[in-house]
Amino acid sequence: MVDGGQKGSSLINLLIPPRVKEIKISEVLPCLTSSERIRVVGTTSENLDDLLPALYLYLPQATYNKQSESMSFMFQEHLITIFGAGKITVTNLKDREEAENVLRYVKDLLNRASIYVNRHGKISPELMSCKTKLSPIELNKFLPKKDCGECGVSTCYGFAIKLATGENSPRACPYLDSEKSAEIEKKIHVIQI
């Protein structure tokens, strides 16, 4: 496991201009699963090849395909696929406004991955092989099982699902001390971006 030194990097992050300045929506299409939903294709002029492995290692349930230079992950109910050539697809969207919000999140992720790669260099094959995917069932074993809802999710298992998709941090549970929280973070993310 590698800690990217997230806390100490905030000042440096402010000084580095973001690599991905804009993701434009280039296509709006009907979603394949529901006629009431849309999917979009976003594009950026940046080549993203070197950032995909970093995102793959950071996002717990992500998949990475070296052959097609792409990685995919779930965010909320959306399947997001990022291609190294700068294309991003997002499914299951309510409208264009939601698409813009999700693409803003993707842009932020890419820029955080870029800061990581600038500081640590390209991801090595050894580091890539460190990835193990923890399921919500496995993550739930580390939670307090109070089902109190104080983390914003009504059950510990629901919170474990959010942890498994990278949408929440163990720090949101007030019953995990900082040591336990850090231990879970390390299980979820191979690197911190």
Candidates 1-9, 32-40, 56-64, 153-161: pick the segment binding ligand SF4 (CB under 6 A).
Answer: 153-161
Q: Figure out which of the listed residues 21, 149, 182, 183 binds ligand SF4, where binding follows CB under 6 A.
A: 149
Closer to ligand SF4 by CB, 173 or 191: give it. Answer: 173
Least CB distance to ligand SF4 at residue 163 (A) = 9
Q: Figure out which of the listed residues 16, 137, 148, 182 binds ligand SF4, where binding follows CB under 6 A.
A: 148
Question: DSSP letter string over 62-127?
Answer: -EEETTTTEEEEEETTEEEEEETTSEEEEEEESSHHHHHHHHHHHHHHHHHHHHHHHHH-SPPHHH
Contact flag: residue 139 with ligand SF4 (CB under 6 A): no
Contact flag: residue 144 with ligand SF4 (CB under 6 A): yes
Residue position matching structure tokens 């991905």: 20
Contact flag: residue 141 with ligand SF4 (CB under 6 A): no
- Cβ atoms < 10 Å from Cβ of 107: 19
Tokens of 186: 């390390």
Contact flag: residue 59 with ligand SF4 (CB under 6 A): no
DSSP 43: E
